[in-house]
Copies of this chain bind each other. A is one copy, B any other.
Amino acid sequence: MKFCTSCGSTVGLQVPEGDDRQRFVCTVCAEIHYINPRVIVGCLPVHEGRILLCKRAIEPRRGYWTLPAGFMENGETTLQGAARETWEEARARATDMELYRVFDVPHISQVYMFYRCGLAEGAYGVGPESTETELYREDEIPWDEIAFPVVRETLREYFADAASGHFPVRVSAIEPRQRL
Nearest opposing residue in chain B for A38, CB measure: B36
Kindly identify, within residues 158 to 180 of chain A, every residue whose CB is under 8 Å from any CB belonging to chain B: 169, 171, 173
**When the two chains form the complex, which single residue of B9, B34, B72 contacts A37, counting CB atoms closer than 8 Å?**
B72
Known contacts: A8-B2, A99-B169. The answer to whether A104 contacts B78 by CB under 8 A is: yes
A29–B21 Cα gap in the complex (Å)? Answer: 30
Cα distance, A7 to B77, chains bound together (Å):
32
A18 within 8 A of B: yes
Within the complex, what minimum Cβ distance (angstroms) separates A82 from chain B? 11
| Contact call B104/A79, Cβ cutoff below 8 A | yes
A138 within 8 A of B: no
Q: Is the Cβ of A36 less than 8 Å from the Cβ of B169?
A: no
In the complex, are the beta carbons of B2 and A72 less than 8 A apart?
no
Is the pair A76, B3 in contact by a Cβ cutoff of 8 Å? Answer: no
Is residue A49 within 8 Å, beta carbon to beta carbon, of the partner chain? Answer: no
A120 within 8 A of B: no
User: Is A141 close to B, CB under 8 A?
Assistant: no
Residues of B within 8 Å of A21, CB to CB, are: 73
In the complex, the answer to whether B75 meets A104 with C-beta atoms within 8 Å is no
Which residue of B6, B36, B76 contacts A106 across the interface (Cβ within 8 Å)?
Answer: B76
Question: How many angstroms from the CA of A98 to the CA of B21 in the assembled complex?
Answer: 27
Q: Are B6 and A3 in contact (CB under 8 A)?
A: yes
Could you tell me the distance between the alpha carbons of A170 and B72 in the complex, rounded to whole angstroms? 19
A41 to chain B, nearest CB (A): 9
| 19 A-B residue pairs with CB within 8 Å | A1-B5, A2-B5, A2-B8, A3-B5, A3-B8, A5-B33, A8-B10, A18-B128, A21-B73, A36-B72, A36-B73, A37-B74, A39-B39, A39-B111, A72-B111, A75-B107, A78-B104, A79-B104, A99-B171
